[in-house]
Amino acid sequence: MCTNNCKDEKMKALDVVLDDHGHDSGSLITILQKAQDIYGYLPAEIIYYVAAQTGTTPAKVMGVATFYTQFRLEPVGKYLIMLCKGTACHVNGSDRIEASITTELGIQNGQTTEDGLFTLKNVACLGCCSLSPVMMVNDETFGTLTPEKAISILNDFRSREEA
């Protein structure tokens, strides 16, 4: 679990990012990407901090953070499931995949399981339509999904936790 020391380490890492980019509001997207890498999402206090450090307004930083779908304003589970709902995946059954995941995990799109392990997020095309239907779990891509295969993949992640 994160302690105050942990927070301090994160803030130090963010300060390095801000220094690397000259505290330049023209680099907001990159700064926010790296802030999200550090924190896992963009907490409100970090929006304010980045605004103050780059000489801009929280509203502008928030505008960037909400415009791009890559940014998260809420904490996510250890494993972020990004289920593609693009056209090719839709045609090839992404709704059935979503139904199996929501039933298995007991969460809906945008929610996180009570144990903090999984967050489900529906996304637009992941750029690998030939593998549709597709989902990513963190950095790993899984294609030609069936409902059974999707559940099996989630169970593999659960097993990793238990190992």
The answer to whether residue 13 forms part of the interface with ligand FES (CB under 6 A) is no
- What are residue 80's DSSP bridge partners? 119
85 DSSP 8-state letter: -
Separation between Cα atoms, residue 74 and residue 66, nearest integer Å: 12
Q: CB-wise, 25 or 132, nearer to ligand FES?
A: 132
Q: Pick one of 29, 38, 117, 129: the residue that binds ligand FES (CB under 6 A).
A: 129
Q: Pick one of 29, 125, 151, 153: the residue that binds ligand FES (CB under 6 A).
A: 125
Q: Pick one of 51, 126, 135, 150: the residue that binds ligand FES (CB under 6 A).
A: 126
The answer to whether residue 84 forms part of the interface with ligand FES (CB under 6 A) is yes
The answer to whether residue 144 forms part of the interface with ligand FES (CB under 6 A) is no
Convert 68-92 to b/e letters by CB count within 10 Å (16 or more is b): eeebbeeebbbbbbbbbbbebbeeb
* Strand, helix or coil for residue 15: helix
The answer to whether residue 132 forms part of the interface with ligand FES (CB under 6 A) is yes
The DSSP bridge pattern shows strands 118-123 and 135-137 to be unpaired
Shortest Å, Cβ 77 to ligand FES:
22
Size of the site for ligand FES (CB under 6 A): 12
Structure tokens at 128: 């690998």
Q: CB-wise, 94 or 119, nearer to ligand FES?
A: 94
Q: Pick one of 38, 128, 151, 153: the residue that binds ligand FES (CB under 6 A).
A: 128
Separation between Cα atoms, residue 34 and residue 102, nearest integer Å: 30
- What are residue 82's DSSP bridge partners? 121, 136
Q: CB-wise, 38 or 129, nearer to ligand FES?
A: 129
Would you tell me which residues interact with ligand FES (CB under 6 A)? Answer: 84, 86-89, 125-129, 132, 134
